[in-house]
Structure 1
Amino acid sequence: MSRTAIVSAMHEELRALLPLLERPQQAEFAGRRFHLGQMMGRPVVLVLSGIGKVAAATTAALLLHEVEVERIVFTGAAGGLGAGVRVGDVVVARELLQHDMDASPLFPRFEVPLTGRARFPSDPALSDALAAATLHCLNDARTRIGEAHLADFGIDSPLLHEGLVISGDRFVATAPESEQLRKLLPDALAVEMEGAALAQVCADFGAPFAVLRTISDRADDSAHVDFSRFIVEVASVYTREIVASWLEGASFA
């Protein structure tokens, strides 16, 4: 049975997933610890990528070349950009783009040089399955997380969004920065620091991938408020529940 990689950007999310791992084994490559085993009866490997595009690209290449996984799912938090994308919502990426890629005038802005494209699509079937698992879990968010925790972060009736997620090596944390990104990329739903780099590596390898992001802030001047607590009490719980639900119903070989 083929192996699936679940990549976390932050320690808190990895720690939430590790207790679900059965028959755990470990391997190390390039300073990264890969946790191999089974989850919901499926062969998986869990790994912490680290933060930023280079860290994500290195991790993806190791997973595909050294660990020989068949597919990669990246989880983490993101700042909301799109209208109606609120704290506590979840975004499943359908396309990914590096918002800080600019080799103009040699190439159009955002285009990855020598590839002929700026946007990298996620795997449709994998993203469909994750979206379905997300809806299932969000419908029961109050039970899974607790109404008090949700209320603390102003979360009410969290929603699923699907579309463009953008990545760059900068934590977007001011209103002017986020507004500029909205002007340049009006269909962007969320901004983070890893997904588009992973997407480019997976495209090179011809490997299916998906990116799942919990909205922690609105990528503005409040982006730092209670971020660590949000990851522990909300985002990591979302990740654990969505990934478990998805694996339980997965149909890949």
Structure 2
Amino acid sequence: MRLLPLLALTALPGLAHAELLDDTPRIALISAFPPEWIALQDGLIDATDHKLNGVTFITGRMEGKPVVLFLSGVSMVNAAMTTQLALDHFDITAIAFSGIAGGVDPNLSIGDVVVPAQWGKYLEGVMARDTNDAFAIPPWMSTDYEGLGMITTVPFGVTTARSEDLDRRFWFDTDPDLLATAKAVAADMTLADCNADNACLSDPPQIILGGNGVSGSFFVDNADLREWAYTTFDAQVLDMESAAVAHVAYANEVPFITFRSLSDLAGGGDGANEMNTFMSLAASNAASVMRAFVGAME
């Protein structure tokens, strides 16, 4: 196969700048899957659908602000793809993610809404070699994190226009101004503690601001992994999308924030996983906080 000269690549149609479907500056409001999506759309007016690559993007206004809503899809890859798709075809001024998650910090309870200050991809790394005495990663690699058996977290880096060198960061920061707005909103909010079937939480839910969230490509219902995520990364919450979206937001230099309500304890509860019981309540609480946040944005 003959390779094209480097200069000829600029003429390829696939490398042209993406066409905007809508040129109004908007806040991107994202959820991962339908139950969260339904809660997120409450209060949306002047809705218009746009279809692209099978994804529905809904433009409109929420709390007086121009927004675009879409589902990321479950998983890190889906979340990264759809977020970049939105950034390529809409004028996105900020990204806010609303949805459910697993609770990691034993001091938190189901129904709490967590707004982390940073997110990391904790299940990206190396399945280490069993050397009989211990698990060992290849000698040319390094890590700052204690592994869980063969699972060893290794940041592989981020390519951005911010630097000529590969950025080997692990944590992606929530935008400090957006976090400050969320803090102001949280001071005046009371969250629901019962779902539509009148299943109620034992503790009134609270809003937790700051701390760490981690994301990976597995649904977690395992007490050992939950404890590892807490002790190794000081994580309050884990999910399957937020760190991927944070990575894309960082690469595109767009402000980012998440509102994650705990639907379950990621394997830390006494009985079966709690997600089916409290998913609707958690999704509604996260969306309520995010709507109030959007209303408070300048």
TM-score (norm 1): 0.87
Q: Unmatched 5+ residue regions in structure 2?
A: 1-23, 127-136, 144-152, 158-165
Change in Cα spacing, 1:136 to 1:61, as seen in structure 2 (3 Å) is same
Change in Cα spacing, 1:151 to 1:19, as seen in structure 2 (3 Å) is closer
Partner of 2:103: 80
Partner of 1:92: 115
CA-CA distance at 1:171 after TM superposition: 0.9
Give the whole-Å Cα distance in 1 for the aligned partners of 2:32 and 2:231: 27
**1:56 maps to which of 73, 79, 93:** 79
Give the whole-Å Cα distance in 1 for the aligned partners of 2:109 and 2:197: 16
CA-CA distance at 1:28 after TM superposition: 1.4
Give the whole-Å Cα distance in 1 for the aligned partners of 2:39 and 2:205: 23
2:285 counterpart of 1:241 = no
CA-CA distance at 1:147 after TM superposition: 8.9
Partner of 1:123: 175
Provide the aligned length of Structure 1 versus Structure 2. Answer: 245
CA-CA distance at 1:131 after TM superposition: 3.1
**1:200 maps to which of 221, 231, 247:** 247
| Percent identity of paired positions between Structure 1 and Structure 2 | 29
Q: Work out whether residues 94 and 254 of structure 2, in 8 Å CA contact, stay in contact via their aligned partners in 1.
A: yes
Q: Deviations over 1:207-235 (max 9, x none)?
A: 11111110122211648634234222x12
**1:217 maps to which of 264, 267, 278:** 264
SS at match of 2:105: coil
SS at match of 1:152: coil
Q: Work out whether residues 115 and 209 of structure 2, in 8 Å CA contact, stay in contact via their aligned partners in 1.
A: yes
CA-CA distance at 1:134 after TM superposition: 3.2
2:191 counterpart of 1:141 = yes
222-231 or 32-41: bigger deviation: 222-231
Give the whole-Å Cα distance in 2 for the aligned partners of 1:165 and 1:54: 18
75-84 or 214-223: bigger deviation: 214-223
Give the whole-Å Cα distance in 2 for the aligned partners of 1:147 and 1:230: 7
Give the whole-Å Cα distance in 2 for the aligned partners of 1:30 and 1:224: 37
Pairs within 5 Å for 1:174-193: 174-185=222-233, 187-193=234-240
Change in Cα spacing, 1:10 to 1:36, as seen in structure 2 (3 Å) is same
204-213 or 125-134: bigger deviation: 125-134
Larger Rg: 2
99-108 or 35-44: bigger deviation: 99-108
Q: Work out whether residues 102 and 110 of structure 1, in 8 Å CA contact, stay in contact via their aligned partners in 2.
A: yes
TM-score (norm 2): 0.75
Q: Unmatched 5+ residue regions in structure 1?
A: none
**2:155 maps to which of 66, 88, 111:** 111
SS at match of 1:136: coil
Alpha-carbon RMSD: 2.3
Give the whole-Å Cα distance in 1 for the aligned partners of 2:94 and 2:195: 34
Task: Report which of the two has the higher share of helix.
Answer: 1
Q: Work out whether residues 27 and 95 of structure 2, in 8 Å CA contact, stay in contact via their aligned partners in 1.
A: yes
Q: Deviations over 1:89-133 (max 9, x none)?
A: 111111110111115543534313342211111111112212332
Change in Cα spacing, 1:244 to 1:161, as seen in structure 2 (3 Å) is closer
Give the whole-Å Cα distance in 2 for the aligned partners of 1:176 and 1:116: 27
Q: Work out whether residues 39 and 283 of structure 2, in 8 Å CA contact, stay in contact via their aligned partners in 1.
A: yes
CA-CA distance at 1:179 after TM superposition: 1.8
Change in Cα spacing, 1:192 to 1:149, as seen in structure 2 (3 Å) is same
56-65 or 9-18: bigger deviation: 9-18
